[in-house]
Structure 1
Amino acid sequence: MPLPNQVQAGTASEKYMLAPDVVETPILDREIKLISNATYMFSAIYANNNIIDNCYIGTKSGICYDYSKDNDLTADYDPRKREWYKKAMARKGNIVWIGTYTDSAGKLEITCAKAFKDANGNFIGVVATDIILKQVIDKIIGLRIGSNGYAFLLDDKGAYIAHPDYMQAGFNVNARENASDTYKKALTNMINGKSGTQKISIKDKEYYLAYNVLPATGWSLGLIIPIKDVVAASEASKTKIDGYSTATQKYINQSINDIVWRFFVLFILCLVFFVVISCQLAGKITKPIKILTAGVKKISAGEFNYKIAVTSKDEIGELADNFNKMGTDIQSYMRNLANSIAEKEKINSELNVAADIQNDMLPKIFPKYEHINGLNLYAKMQPAKIVGGDFYDFFYMDDNQTKLCVVIADVSGKGIPASLFMVIAKHIIKTSVLNSENLSDGISNANNLLCEDNNTSMFVTAFIAVLDLSDGCLEYVSCGHNPPLFASNTEEFRFIKVKKALPLAVAEKIIYQCDKLYMESDDTLVLYTDGVNEAANENNELFGDNRFINILNRCHNNNIENIDDFLRQEISKFAGKAEQADDITTLFIRIVPKD
């Protein structure tokens, strides 16, 4: 039986697939072959009922069988997680109806499903069909009451299913939106399953609206007639509406019930037939299976040269051939594995050298900034892989060493591509800032250079600031980066406001605007990448902004290197055994009293 991607769309055919967590086994193969015989029944039903769009089966073992003209089942499709399967299994053999929906081709449909049992009376799956409601809708749209009246169909959520203006440009399917108070009240009654006649107003014209619920689907059929046409015959109109509603309901029930019962009876007969055939074939299959089992044990014990002596031309023989081939493949794999391990060790050695080179590019000599001009500075980068995409930098803007530029950035992606782009970005940002008249121009120039020949579409979030050590003025630009944290001697840490801007290397000719902040004695500024607040534990919970701020406040009065060490310990403790998913980079700036 073919997979969905092995059949041609637009032609009615059988296909199957397994749920993502299901492993194909010989038992499962036999079940698939058994289910495939439903094609004889489905093809006849499908060919003789033009309101049937799809016939399918979902089993408890994870098999999804489908007979239709579509081939759009995706690899993550699991029938056991679908509404039609869950509701049918919960009703234990009773027919269930799933609410209306519109498929990818724009057809309005409703789903009918029923759970079925095995020979032992256990529910093992659900059989279902999708029914096209086009004929009913066309009949309703074509219905005219007098010269100006018309009919419409409303679902139980308040959306038009059928309306004469449905295909008009700008038509709003949400019936209650923009409706007058009287019309909205009547529509609410229809949604709530009520029946009746009301006087309504549409576009400043008066109408009578008669409506009645369709119990099987929860929809409501409405007839709208101008008051001037029906003042003398409003009760007669309601009787006519009731007749149309009953006829429509009877048509739907009769069509659906006939299809469901014919399908169910045929399925049960086929199921009984194939169970009997399967029992007869079991004896013929047992002997080669025993031979196959003994051979598999030898191969699993390491005798890869052993050949299983099953010569039958059926599936067991094919499986034996595959096991024999597997033994040969394993021998080849073991040889290739040894070669791969040697090659991997060589690559790891080269990556370690690259990591050392990258690490050496980041400034780590902090003492030359400490206590000079009243400044303490500390930074650290911890890559998620051997090499990373985060980086930081700091350098003086002038020969008098009165202005210090600090940079922290995060390159999109990880690993070798991110590390290479990081080297380029670090150099371009520093060069552009040093050679520009102001910080805004420097960042804009750096962005334009990074955009050139960026065929990989990589980008960099960055926070760049220039601190004037003479007056504590901090001029900064955020390029799509996380907002820094700031704390004074008397206040706790808080996020500072930054102007929203695109990351670097996304689009050319962007003007980046600067903000200013004045830092005084004992003020602390913390720059970081999203590897801090987005660190995750084994339950996929994030470290988060609140936890980050609380930890900084707990050790506010410590020196900045101790604060950074304590923060990283808390991140590691929170993550537990979860693998580090992103680079973790921090940069601390503290103004200290001048000597």
Structure 2
Amino acid sequence: IIAHPNRNIMGAYPTGLTDVKGQPLLRSMLEKTKREGGGFAAFSWDDAEGGTEAGVRKLGYFAYTPGWKWVIGAAVNIEDIEGEAQRKLSLIVEELKETFARTKLAQTGYFFLFNGQRELLVHPTLAGKALQDVKNAQTGYLLMDELLAAAKTPDKPVEYLQQGSSTDRERLTHYESYVDYFKTLDWYIASSIRKDEIELPANDLVMRQTLFIAAIFAASLLIAYLLISQLSKHLGKLAAYAKELPSHDFSTTEVGPSSIEPLARKYRDEVGRLAEAFLFMEQELRQYIHNLRETTAAKERIESELQIARDIQMSFLPQTFPPFPDRKEFEIYAMVKPAREVGGDFYDFFFVDEDHLFFSLGDVSGKGVPASLFMAVTKTLLRASAGVGVDPDHVMASVNNRLCDGNDACMFVTVICGILNVRTGEVVCADGGHNPSLYVSLPDEVKFLDLPRAMALGVMEETRYQMERLVLRPGETIFMYTDGITEAMNVSAEMFSEDRLVDSVYRMRERSVKEICNGLMENIEDFSRGAPQADDITMLAIRYRGGSEGRPEESV
């Protein structure tokens, strides 16, 4: 115990203190307040003023303070509560005496109050007396027994014979009494009224009430008719306005005169509020349609411009296949699918001389319009830097330096480029941070090319790039792609992956390069069905057929 009015028990551990149920008081209150935040308990303890009275009954309320892990309690003597309750009950009885005295039932009827000990608490003449011996002259039973029994059916009266008023004591009079029970206070409240006072004026009372009710009903009907007529007229105007609303001209935000404006100004009831709501709705509709038209026009302009940008971007890339129908030494095919209207992936190929085909494929950082512009610059620089006798590593270094110059947006591009000697099948390649390409070799092997890796273009000036040489045999293929293929995701957030790429190319290795590209695109779409495309998808495939085939015959 940390604090208590009796300092002698502060710091003590009263383990023997129990509540009325015999449970350890402090432990049970600690558990209950932790669980419920607070609670009441009744117990016996020494008097709080100094311990002079042992075994005083207490009622306490206990509350738990989580911050300090304390239980704070406040207790009062139950005897004090009972004494205060008894005093309140006495005041209630006195008040009821005055109230019952002022309350009359018919001419001579009255209310009276008694308790479960059959003691009359409130009665016009017999208050404080007992009714144990008074009998009902009509039945011969004790009147108190019948009154107590009647409390079980408070809607049914008990009838009894009793002497009349002081002027007519010799004559027994029929009385009716309704009794109701208040269990909390163990009180019974009863009424007593003469039957003749109930029955004699009944017809007159019924007639007066009938006429009064009929008059009220007729007046209510008239008032209701007038109100409904007026309301129906206003609602008719509102309904007509609602029907005409679709035919209004919403091309301007200005609202002309309306037939329901007087309703909104004149009435402040439901009709007025409904009229205001209709006028507000029309104004908002006009503003919404105006904004929608502007937004739609702006969106159409943007979409039109993006479509033009897409057409321009696609025109940068070779779109005709086969691009060199008179060259039979090789087979080439490429395709691109941007994630947005325009993208940052690109591919390119062209002859730098009669026997050397330059090819490139790249992926610009980011997406959308900025990536497409950077792609156009990169592709143009690659085409301008490639030439007769210029190796791919020098092409990459030159383009990298020019992209780094003034690259305030810090954009970069991964690129793989190379030169194919269509006579010998020799390929020289350089890689600038791009995904490893696939090498489909004979007889049936698909593997990644192990090219020297270097930094992406546009990151750091004077970056050196290395070349790798390999010789393609007739029927062998190089397949280049961007990470939009391997990182394509399905609805389960699972990537297409390099393993699926190798497996797809291996299964289609004997097809033409066009069929390989189209088949791979179908596999990706089937895999990611239901999931949005997150990145541009681009691929370029070159198959060497042999230098002795079909060189165009020179004219003699």
Question: TM-score w.r.t. structure 1 length?
Answer: 0.46
Q: Which has the larger radius of gyration?
A: 2
TM-score of the aligned structures, taking structure 2 as reference length: 0.49
